[in-house]
Amino acid sequence: MLSTIKQTQLQKALHFFLTKMIVGIGVIVSLVAFIEWLHSSVLDKTNLPNDVKSLIVSVVEAFVTSTTYIFMFRAYDKRRIRELSAATFVNNAVKGLLIGILLQSLFILIIYLAGTFLVVNVNPISVLISPFAFALTAGFVAEIIMIGIMFRLLEQQMGTVMTLLAFIILFAILHINARGATVISVVATAMQAGLMLPAAYVFSRNLWLPVFLHFGWDFAEPGIFGGINPSSSLTHGLLTSKIADNSLLTGGETGPQNSLSSLFLCLILGLTFLLLAKRKNNLIKPYWRTTATNKSITASGDGG
């Protein structure tokens, strides 16, 4: 009897949402760290070009992150992982990629129309390998951890609206002391990572959409337009560009993604995703208000 009680308590502890979160993040971060160690200890000793090494590592990290998530939460939740279903991959990946590239294109168009964007040089297409590798890792690892694990598990407890508010505040706090941070850059980042990307998941109930939106976004900014991306050391891409230092319009030293136009466009897109999600009845209520409806929504993942 006592052993049965202890076993039940252990199962409850292991399936507590915070435990799931810690285990999920811990396993994925550990595997990514191991891949990076292999990169430095094995790949760096080969004669492969640096951009090819980066591409290999990024592809492996994307594959390991997504498959680990699938197998871990299939075992944890005893369900089919519809949010990373192969059947919904193409539709959501294409949508996300196009939205991410289109957003960056709009930011650059606004800067160009204001006369503060100048193309200095057009580079060989081979320079796209490094930005592609950078964006692939960022899209897969960041969004599977932040949305697939953190947001999804918090949303089941706190509901969609409260979790979105928590994410907006979290990302604002995390970027207050970032290099070159301004009020605009902090709020813009909160709108992007705290509202727009999670809202894309809520709308589609599919992780491929925010993963590839992030990928397209991070690929286009430095990779195509040669803009500054605060998370990357890349200095140029397909275009070597000169962007005048009007921080409100251009984002200054934090790049176009932290401009005023980015803030408003990402806010509008995030709210649009939420409006469409509400029409699809995809919003989740707090755990203490209902449980059956929430489980049905999170397990259905219609692919958007």
Q: What is the pLDDT of residue 133?
A: 94
Global confidence as pTM: 0.90
Q: What is the pLDDT of residue 175?
A: 86
Looking at the 3D structure of the chain, how many domains does it have?
1
Q: What is the pLDDT of residue 241?
A: 82
Asked whether 185 and 258 are in contact (CB, 8 A), the reply is yes
Residue 49 inside a domain? The answer is no
How far apart, in whole angstroms, are the C-alpha atoms of residue 23 and residue 4? 24
Per-residue pLDDT tens digits for 259-303: 899 999 999 999 999 999 999 999 998 877 665 555 555 556 555
Per-residue pLDDT tens digits for 40-64: 888 888 888 989 999 999 999 999 9
How far apart, in whole angstroms, are the C-alpha atoms of residue 119 and residue 224? 11
How far apart, in whole angstroms, are the C-alpha atoms of residue 291 and residue 275? 22
- Band the pLDDT of 181: cuts 50, 70, 90: confident
Residue 191 inside a domain? The answer is yes
The angle at the Cα of 143, spanning 138 to 148, to the nearest 5 degrees, equals 155
Token digits of residue 143? 């969004």
| Alpha-carbon torsion (17, 209, 283, 186), positive or negative | positive
Residue 6 inside a domain? The answer is no
Token digits of residue 30? 């550990």
Task: Give the contacts of 87 (CB within 8 A, at least 6 positions apart).
Answer: 303
3-class DSSP state for residue 171? helix
Asked whether 222 and 104 are in contact (CB, 8 A), the reply is no
Per-residue pLDDT tens digits for 125-180: 989 999 999 999 999 999 999 999 999 999 999 999 999 999 999 999 998 987 87
Asked whether 176 and 189 are in contact (CB, 8 A), the reply is no
Q: Which domain holds residue 156?
A: 88-300
Residue 263 inside a domain? The answer is yes
Residue 2 inside a domain? The answer is no
Q: Which amino acid is at 84?
A: L
Residue 32 inside a domain? The answer is no
How far apart, in whole angstroms, are the C-alpha atoms of residue 204 and residue 214? 15
119 or 194, which is more confident? Answer: 194
Q: What is the pLDDT of residue 5?
A: 58
How far apart, in whole angstroms, are the C-alpha atoms of residue 82 and residue 88? 8
Residue 172 inside a domain? The answer is yes
Residue 18 inside a domain? The answer is no
3-class DSSP state for residue 246? coil
